[in-house]
Structure 1
Amino acid sequence: MGVQQPQYQSLYRASIKEAAMQGAALMQATLVRALREWPDTAARMDDVIERGVLLEALAVLKERQQALTDAFPQALLAEFAHAIAGERSAALNFDALSLLGDEQVQENADLVRAARALEEAVQPRLAELEAALAAAQLTPRGAAQRHPLRPEVYVRAVYRLARQSPLSSSVRRRWLRHLPPLMAPDLLQSYAVVAKRIAPAETALVPAEVAQEARDRATQLTIRELQKLLAGEPGEGAGEALIVFDESDFQHTVPAALEMVQDMRKVDQLMLQLRQRQAAMPGREQDSLVAFRDALRQEARKPAQALAVEVVQLMMDNLAADERLLPQVREVVRDLEPPLLRLALVDPRFFSDREHPARQLLEQLTQRSLAWTSAEDPAFQTFMGALQEATEALLDTRASGPETFEIALAALEEAWDEAQPRGRRNRERAVRALLRAEQRNLLAGELARKVLERPDAAGAPPEALAFLTGPWSQVMAQARLVDGSGSEDPGGYGWVVQTVLWSVQPALTARVAGHQQTLRNRIHEGLASIDHLPADTQRWQNLLAALRDLAMSVATGTALRAAGPEPAPERVDTWLAPLEMHESGFVPDAGVQLASTAAEPDALPPQELAVGAYVDLLSDGWERWQLTWASPHGLLFMFTHASGATRSMTRRKLHHTLQQGALRLVSSHPVVDGALDAVAHAAWRNSGTA
């Protein structure tokens, strides 16, 4: 599979950490350039008001120069962490557009323009860096440009600083407009160093965003127009769910003439013509689709309808270009464009309502398809069979509202669930086991703390305390969980705590003399109640016996035997019984040693790895898994394979897997959300807001 990611992961992490550490020097150099260049920039401005505001921003910048230099590394570190976590930017989030006020629109437009200016200034070195990252398999497939070192992240760090400073909005916006491009010289050098570190031999240079930029240039959408579209509501008295768009405040975004139509039957005729043309000209589906798009634009009643059609077209272009989707899925996406375009003419709720049946259908089919990396998998063929049947039904229908999508979605979900009954049962059984384990471990932790707080525990050997706060606290917790009487010490296992503590301390061992056999029997009984491994039980028994002998010999002054006891079993923070491990596919923490990750972007924080995310896990080779469950208290995480198999691990193990480069994020958010966010990104680029 090309170069193995773990080979370069440590270098990559070190480079990100170093970039954050160099933030102070980067900001200092940027501010020096600003103080030197902004007076000339202001002098060249014809607009007196704009000149005055820039000079005011310069004065504030000079006053806060040291504070900005000191604060930038932390701001940069925070933005790196968000980028590594795969978080979606609120500014470029399609669903958030309707919530933005005028001031936010202005600032976000400035942010996008500043990011674009900085990106253009560093493009040659940025392209080399992204090619090196892709070749070293350090970025998700098809998303080489979504790395934490991208220019946009640096601009967001500037924005973070500006928002945290006591500034007027006008000064804040001038900082955001004029500071980021001045980072280019230092960022060029930084990119060159990182690319050289991680680049494998003979790395091919491939421009990362050429296709995306071409799609962006193909539209004249603006943020104002998208906000209007998201605010669209059904018109009163509109027949067949037809939406009465308000065409005021909309500009014509499509050059073709917008003509009134007699009724929606013309759209149905266009659909029929499209299917006939595709059948008559195999291999010319794209040509037919282009013709359909053009004809449909001319059928739009209002400019707003033409805008809706254009947004769907851009969204589908982005989905069809998403390399994370297998080719067969991308073909289905293209097949679904005509019915979605038809829907866009009559129902703009598709854009504003995440629960809209058409949006849910598109989201479900794209997200579920990420479970497979090969079309040869029989389960994928079953998945595709149901999907193609639903697509055919949507193409054949003459209805233009959301009802047909709702029916298709229900049929698909039923077919997919029926195809994986074993997987569903496995997940349910695994979740029950993990919930039980977390509940017991949390209670065991409380009981362990109480053991350590006992006065007679202060002088006990650490090995004895490891037993009492480890497996024995699990025994006491299990007894409480299964007991219905409300007893404080069901099973009487608290007696073992006191007896062990006294038996291993020379000053106290005489108090429990003659209880050794009873103690051994109670320990054996208790550990058996949690299905503790017999071999580990015997090792604990031997260790405790040796500690008792040592305490007794010290108390009586007799000689010790030369041979030492067996070592104790390895202590684990979160313990699962063998059956729980089997039912959940548990990966033990054995051998896990973690470097400090506090305030460092060394690994994707597990709390940011949201349920539903797809990842590739490295075992004998890379395999695709989905994070399908996280325990309520964040102790345990469960991944599910397309085959229905489950794999679970502790938070500690997950951190370790991330640090070792044995887990790479494929998708942390719905694919459809990403496609719509790309539409918003294009609109931000086109927005000429001053």
Structure 2
Amino acid sequence: MLNQCFDEAERRTPAMLKRCIDAVMNSLQLAEGASLHNAQRQLFARATWSIAQCRGALAETFPVRLREAFEQQVDDPSASTLAGLFDSSLMQLVDDSAMNESLESVRLLQNLLPLVEHSLPILDARMSSLIGLDSIEVEKNPMRPSVFARVLRDLMAEVEEEGGIRVVWLQHIAHVLGRELGQLYEALALMLQQANVQEAGYRIRLVEDPEASRAASAPDVVTLDMLSMGDADGGGRDGGGDDSADLEPAALGRSRSELGNAVFQDFLAGGSGGGVQPLDEGYYEQVRRELGEVDALSAMPVASEALSGEALSRYRATPVVDRPGRQVSVDTTLAADRWGHYGLAHERTRVLLELKARAEDAAQAIGLDLVRKLVNQVARDPLLLAPVREAVVALEPALLRLALANPRYFGESDHPARLLVEEVAQRSFRYNDEFADDFLAYLEPVCAAFNALNALESEKPRPFADALGGLRKRWQQADAVETAAREAQLSSVRFAEARQQLADQMAWEISLRPDVFNAPELVLDFFYGTWSLVMATAQLRPVEGAPDIQACRSAVGTLLWSVRPETMRQSKAVFESLPGLLQCLHSGLDALGMSKSERQPFFDALMRLHQPLLSLRRVRVKGDQALPGTDGELDEPVKRDLSVAPRVFVTAQPWMATGEWADAGFQDTELDPQDEADPLPPVEQADQVAEPSVELHLNDPVPFVEAQEAVAPAVVEDQPADRAVLARLRAGCLVDMYSQGAWIRAELIWASARGTLFMFSSAGGRAHSMTRRSCEKLIGNHWLRLVETHAVVENAVQALTATAPTKGKRKRRRLATPA
């Protein structure tokens, strides 16, 4: 199974690396247009040209080298890939380009890790089990991100001699490579799950801590986990530390916190980390020094970080699914026309330091650091559009002020400030284009609300609750129109599904009638398919002027009676019954919505079935003698083989009339004209897609309900990767879909019980409905992509408070406060 994982990675990586290189080329072109320095523009231009020339060689060689690295890791799990990334020559006097390259290699790995944090732990757990480990050991996963980073760095060094160009490549490939790795890890984890590879678990080790008793007896000492000290933003899965020096209280007075994850984890849990310990003069002196630095920064001109001119035009012209993510953090300078003076990073830092100057104990200082860390964590969330992340950064001053009164408020899931940030983020998942009119209409009131909160300078949560209430009201008003349109669209497909289920049941009941034996197959097919739908319609949604359910049932008996061999001799009785029968049939089909052309083949065949009767009638009307060989009677009809039981089929896909398909928005989204691979068929409208069905016989012991269930799981087992994506679609899922020349964000609002029809809804309540076959084609051509979402604030809290597993005895460090 391990070799199968290697094979799958080797198969996927050529296309994966090509997509990464294409994204890097686009990002470099944007950077070239935005650069103000000629030398830098030339560097970007050379880097773009060089990687374009090496694209084929890199894509061809990368999977081979990866396979070798994977197998080397299996043979020697102790081999360190992190050491290979950070060149030992940094300890010597080397040129700047070599140092920069080694630093960028390590930074590449650090930037990859947040992008795979959702899929990698699952792969780590199953991979550890696969290679025979009792517990999870992430450093022994042969396919961990550091292996990919090292192989890529070494390969780049072979194809490009200039170190400066390689540094630029590494800077621009991190985001897209992380996204691709996340998808690869997800596919590998799914493959291991389908192979019944179980997840290993973490091993919890309790060790004796000689400092614990001393810390418990000394209220003026706060114990901090050594491994979590330092900047959490720069931490890595492979990282660790060995410094046991004390952290001075003055460190809390800095704008850049040195507190680590374990401190915040303990703090949010209400532990001893950062209680009501007083702050000494060294802390306040540090705050004053930092404020002085902010004053110096405010006197310096600030360059705008926003794209403009040609670079902005190229960025907007790039398809939304291929746009490189813009980096946002608490240090980002935001647009002044949107955020005022709080758009300046040093002004937000000033608010932080002024609040720290007002802090009276360690809990308030740690709480302020916690808010800034969480804001920075949300600002780095790759699933959010850049303007949304900028909005959270801009709200930092208002969020910081709350921490003085309630330092741990971000640990309260129902706190208004946390709910506001979360709901703004969740609402933004509806959009995938930051330049689209619908997104700008969403963003404008959010910006107004956030600016108003900053201006209030309140330390109470009530304004946040009011702001959230105002936004919710606007969203509900906007949703009301879409909800009405959505319900109208859903009503047609829901009715079609309910009608089909009832029709299948009625077809089964008809098949149990004794008079279906020896009936023509033409008639039985009509009853089991079309007429059962008419009967279901009459029961679920009676139409004025159409036959009711009792008349429909009577029509079944009349038609079966009219085609029986013994009845065919009673020409007078049959002739008297035919006009009323035909009128009933036509009225029922009219109520169903079946067109004249669709029903005509059946009536032509029915006429041929009654042709002997019609011929005899014409003879008698003319007063002629009976035809030779009849003596006024009909020839004996050909009998069916009584050993063949009537058949009834459970349809996998609900039948819908042409008008119903149009009302429900069924369509095939179009392929890009430049994509020549397997173009999609034209819109199928009322043509039914050939889906698997279950054939039932009267002699079968399987009841009808079990037959319905037999159709349902036709999606999951032994599927290719494309169908595995389809199997994950559930109501509420978001997708990026290519439709009418543009990428749109749509929500799956309905799927048929048997997984054969899907309805998506995009901005404005527009419906996009399609069959399973169409969905599979779109996924296979990468024109429908599942969008991952998560609880943004909760995810940020978990990432901030996550602690790395340690080996051996934990070391502790102390934050001493004066007695």
Quick check: TM above 0.5? yes
Larger Rg: 2
Deviation at 1:623, TM superposition (A): 2.8
Q: 1:289 to 1:435 in 2, by over 3 A?
A: same
C-alpha distance in 1 between matches for 2:361 and 2:195: 38
Partner of 1:387: 446
Partner of 1:414: 473
> Residue 287 of structure 1 aligns to a residue in which SS?
helix
Q: Which of 535, 557, 576 lines up with 1:476 in the alignment? A: 535
Partner of 1:643: 764
Question: In the alignment, does 2:120 pair up with 1:120?
Answer: no
Q: 1:504 to 1:281 in 2, by over 3 A?
A: same
C-alpha distance in 1 between matches for 2:799 and 2:793: 10
> Is contact 1:247–1:304 with CA below 8 Å preserved after alignment?
no
Relative contact order (alpha carbons < 8 A, sep ≥ 6): 1 or 2 greater? Answer: 1
C-alpha distance in 2 between matches for 1:260 and 1:499: 100
Q: Which of 139, 144, 164 lines up with 2:180 in the alignment? A: 144
> Residue 427 of structure 2 aligns to a residue in which SS?
helix
Percent sequence identity over matched residues? 26
Q: Which of 584, 597, 600 lines up with 1:535 in the alignment? A: 597
Deviation at 1:407, TM superposition (A): 0.8
Partner of 1:665: 786
Report 1:2-13 matches (<5 A).
none
C-alpha distance in 1 between matches for 2:561 and 2:275: 83
Deviation at 1:426, TM superposition (A): 0.9
C-alpha distance in 2 between matches for 1:114 and 1:212: 23
C-alpha distance in 1 between matches for 2:282 and 2:518: 89
Structure 1 stretch 342-351 or stretch 443-452: which is displaced more?
342-351
Deviation at 1:283, TM superposition (A): 9.8
Q: Which of 478, 483, 500 lines up with 1:441 in the alignment? A: 500
Give CA deviations for 1:345-367 in whole Å, capped at 9, x if unaligned.
54477545544432332233223
Question: In the alignment, does 2:650 pair up with 1:584?
Answer: no
Give CA deviations for 1:539-586 in whole Å, capped at 9, x if unaligned.
44335445665999997469xxxxxxxxxxxx8721235554444323
How many residues are treated as equivalent by the alignment? 521
Q: Which of 368, 378, 389 lines up with 1:319 in the alignment? A: 378
Structure 1 stretch 340-349 or stretch 324-333: which is displaced more?
340-349
> Is contact 1:612–1:627 with CA below 8 Å preserved after alignment?
yes
> Is contact 2:657–2:686 with CA below 8 Å preserved after alignment?
no
Give CA deviations for 1:57-77 in whole Å, capped at 9, x if unaligned.
xxxxxxxxxxxxxxxxxxxxx
Deviation at 1:162, TM superposition (A): 5.3
Deviation at 1:250, TM superposition (A): 8.6
Structure 2: which amino acid aligns with 1:575?
W
Q: 1:309 to 1:380 in 2, by over 3 A?
A: same
Structure 1: which amino acid aligns with 2:272?
E
> Residue 617 of structure 1 aligns to a residue in which SS?
strand
C-alpha distance in 1 between matches for 2:538 and 2:14: 47
Deviation at 1:285, TM superposition (A): 1.6
C-alpha distance in 2 between matches for 1:579 and 1:337: 53
Question: In the alignment, does 2:739 pair up with 1:619?
Answer: yes
Report 1:231-630 matches (<5 A).
231-232=269-270, 246-248=271-273, 285-293=344-352, 296=355, 308-322=367-381, 324-347=383-406, 351-419=410-478, 421-454=480-513, 456-457=515-516, 464-482=523-541, 490-500=549-559, 513-514=574-575, 515-546=577-608, 556=636, 573-577=653-657, 580-587=660-667, 590=687, 592=689, 597-600=716-719, 601-604=721-724, 608-627=728-747, 629-630=749-750
Q: Which runs of 5+ in 1 are unaligned?
A: 1-10, 17-24, 41-85, 93-106, 130-138, 172-210, 233-245, 559-570
C-alpha distance in 2 between matches for 1:393 and 1:551: 86
Structure 2: which amino acid aligns with 1:477?
A
Structure 1: which amino acid aligns with 2:745?
W
> Residue 433 of structure 1 aligns to a residue in which SS?
helix
C-alpha distance in 2 between matches for 1:658 and 1:361: 34
Deviation at 1:115, TM superposition (A): 5.1
Structure 2: which amino acid aligns with 1:428?
E
> Is contact 1:111–1:155 with CA below 8 Å preserved after alignment?
no
Give CA deviations for 1:633-652 in whole Å, capped at 9, x if unaligned.
47654322212312234566
C-alpha distance in 2 between matches for 1:157 and 1:257: 55
> Is contact 2:264–2:800 with CA below 8 Å preserved after alignment?
no
Structure 2: which amino acid aligns with 1:143?
R
> Residue 615 of structure 1 aligns to a residue in which SS?
strand
Partner of 2:309: none
* Aligned-residue CA RMSD (Å): 5.8
Report 1:108-187 matches (<5 A).
110=136, 112=138, 114=140, 118-125=144-151, 143-149=179-185, 153=189, 161=197
Deviation at 1:664, TM superposition (A): 0.6
Give CA deviations for 1:220-240 in whole Å, capped at 9, x if unaligned.
7777556545545xxxxxxxx
Q: 1:617 to 1:655 in 2, by over 3 A?
A: same
Q: 1:296 to 1:150 in 2, by over 3 A?
A: farther
> Residue 247 of structure 1 aligns to a residue in which SS?
coil
Structure 2: which amino acid aligns with 1:247?
S
Q: 1:387 to 1:676 in 2, by over 3 A?
A: same
Q: 1:359 to 1:168 in 2, by over 3 A?
A: closer
Partner of 2:82: none
Structure 2: which amino acid aligns with 1:598?
E
> Is contact 2:232–2:800 with CA below 8 Å preserved after alignment?
no
Structure 2: which amino acid aligns with 1:147?
Q
> Is contact 2:268–2:408 with CA below 8 Å preserved after alignment?
yes
Structure 1: which amino acid aligns with 2:505?
E
Q: 1:325 to 1:657 in 2, by over 3 A?
A: same
Deviation at 1:146, TM superposition (A): 1.8
> Is contact 2:489–2:664 with CA below 8 Å preserved after alignment?
yes
Give CA deviations for 1:496-522 in whole Å, capped at 9, x if unaligned.
334555667768866894344333222
Q: 1:574 to 1:157 in 2, by over 3 A?
A: closer
Deviation at 1:405, TM superposition (A): 1.6
Deviation at 1:170, TM superposition (A): 8.7
> Is contact 2:538–2:549 with CA below 8 Å preserved after alignment?
yes
> Is contact 2:120–2:185 with CA below 8 Å preserved after alignment?
no
C-alpha distance in 2 between matches for 1:689 and 1:249: 26
Deviation at 1:523, TM superposition (A): 1.8
> Residue 183 of structure 2 aligns to a residue in which SS?
coil
> Is contact 1:142–1:324 with CA below 8 Å preserved after alignment?
no
Task: Kindly indicate which of the two structures has a greater share of residues assigned to helix.
Answer: 1
Q: Which runs of 5+ in 2 are unaligned?
A: 1-10, 17-66, 80-115, 123-132, 156-174, 206-230, 240-255, 299-329, 616-633, 639-650, 668-684, 692-713, 810-819
> Residue 395 of structure 2 aligns to a residue in which SS?
helix
> Is contact 1:259–1:300 with CA below 8 Å preserved after alignment?
no
Deviation at 1:408, TM superposition (A): 0.7
Structure 1 stretch 394-403 or stretch 596-605: which is displaced more?
596-605
Deviation at 1:128, TM superposition (A): 11
> Residue 664 of structure 1 aligns to a residue in which SS?
strand
C-alpha distance in 2 between matches for 1:215 and 1:509: 88
Q: 1:346 to 1:581 in 2, by over 3 A?
A: farther
Partner of 2:105: none
Deviation at 1:108, TM superposition (A): 12
Structure 1: which amino acid aligns with 2:499?
R
C-alpha distance in 2 between matches for 1:328 and 1:468: 59
C-alpha distance in 2 between matches for 1:419 and 1:332: 21
Give CA deviations for 1:353-403 in whole Å, capped at 9, x if unaligned.
544432332233223333334444333332222112111111112332332
> Is contact 2:653–2:754 with CA below 8 Å preserved after alignment?
no
Deviation at 1:464, TM superposition (A): 4.5
